[in-house]
Amino acid sequence: MDEIIIRVNNLSKNFGSVQAVKNISFEIKQSEIFAFLGPNGAGKTTTIRMLITLLAPTSGDAAINGYSIIHHPAEVRKVIGYVPQMISVDGALTAQENLMLMAHLYDVPYRECNRRIKEMLAFLKLEKYARSLVRTLSGGMIRKLEVGQAMLHNPHLLFLDEPTTGLDPIAKRNIWEHLVELRNTFGTTIFFSTHNMEEAEEACDRVAIMNTGQIAVIGSVSELKEKTNKKDATLEDAFIFFTGNELQSNGNFREIKRTRQIHHRLG
């Protein structure tokens, strides 16, 4: 359980003069649930995109399951699943058809596709919707389906970029029940980004507070609270302590709206 599955070494990314990620280093153990907590623009998505080999770092490297993201990206891709921030299903296809498409993309052996899709729909409690057009499903069900898509090839690690932005509290809870079950059942390492304090507090083993491209602090929620030396400190207190900023709870309005617009477009 204590094996390091992600080892990040001095990773940086510049976009022209913008230093989106500044020389970050950290490690994640196998089967951890780990969160990047930070405001919009902190560099969360950029870091995730480098780790999943979609974006080349400006400098530094990371090893995933022992493989360098720069020198062995194909090996890295075999062991990861990715749920992007924006919608990644086709609304005009059924749930089952979306899963089949991804099974082929992820090179799931042909004769195993049907069984794995059936099992995944059962695991996510979406069997009833197998033949429903995805555009008729709720936002929470779509998110679950996206998690399912990213898990069909049995990856060791799942990366989720703001998995619950724009979802209602019940859908949010439901997604988390499934993610925790994935970890508990298969030992999947779960790496997610969020700007939601409660989500970070409730769901993860460790959190990295990220701000302006840097990791301000990393540790368990209780460690971060203790370090503030404040009695009954909340995670929000820790965030302010380590970044000097407040995390605006309504600051993500534009993103939620964008997510919903995309959802609406499916309909």
Ligand X SMILES: Nc1ncnc2c1ncn2[C@@H]1O[C@H](COP(=O)(O)OP(=O)(O)O)[C@@H](O)[C@H]1O
Question: Residues interacting with Mg ion, by CB under 5 A?
Answer: 44-45
Contact 209, 238 (CB under 8 A): yes
Q: Quick count: other Cβ atoms within 10 Å of Cβ 172?
A: 22
Q: Measured from the CB atom, is 45 or 196 closer to Mg ion?
A: 45
Q: C-beta of 141: minimal distance to ligand X in Å?
A: 25
Q: C-beta of 235: minimal distance to ligand X in Å?
A: 17
Q: Measured from the CB atom, is 20 or 117 closer to ligand X?
A: 20
By a kind-dependent CB cut-off of 5 to 8 A, residue 38 interacts, out of ligand X, Mg ion, none, with: ligand X
CA separation for the pair 90, 83 (Å, rounded): 14
Contact 22, 81 (CB under 8 A): no
Contact 215, 22 (CB under 8 A): no
Q: Measured from the CB atom, is 111 or 254 closer to Mg ion?
A: 254
Q: Which residues bind ligand X (CB under 6 A)?
A: 15, 18, 20, 38, 40-46
- Start-to-end CA span in the chain (Å): 43
CA separation for the pair 206, 198 (Å, rounded): 13
By a kind-dependent CB cut-off of 5 to 8 A, residue 253 interacts, out of ligand X, Mg ion, none, with: none
Amino acid at 244: G
Helix axes 139-151, 95-105, angle to 10 degrees: 30
Q: C-beta of 245: minimal distance to Mg ion in Å?
A: 17
Q: C-beta of 85: minimal distance to Mg ion in Å?
A: 6
By a kind-dependent CB cut-off of 5 to 8 A, residue 170 interacts, out of ligand X, Mg ion, none, with: none
By a kind-dependent CB cut-off of 5 to 8 A, residue 46 interacts, out of Mg ion, ligand X, none, with: ligand X
Q: Measured from the CB atom, is 8 or 42 closer to ligand X?
A: 42
By a kind-dependent CB cut-off of 5 to 8 A, residue 15 interacts, out of Mg ion, ligand X, none, with: ligand X
CA separation for the pair 142, 64 (Å, rounded): 28
**Structure token pair of residue 175:** 């997604």
Q: C-beta of 19: minimal distance to Mg ion in Å?
A: 16
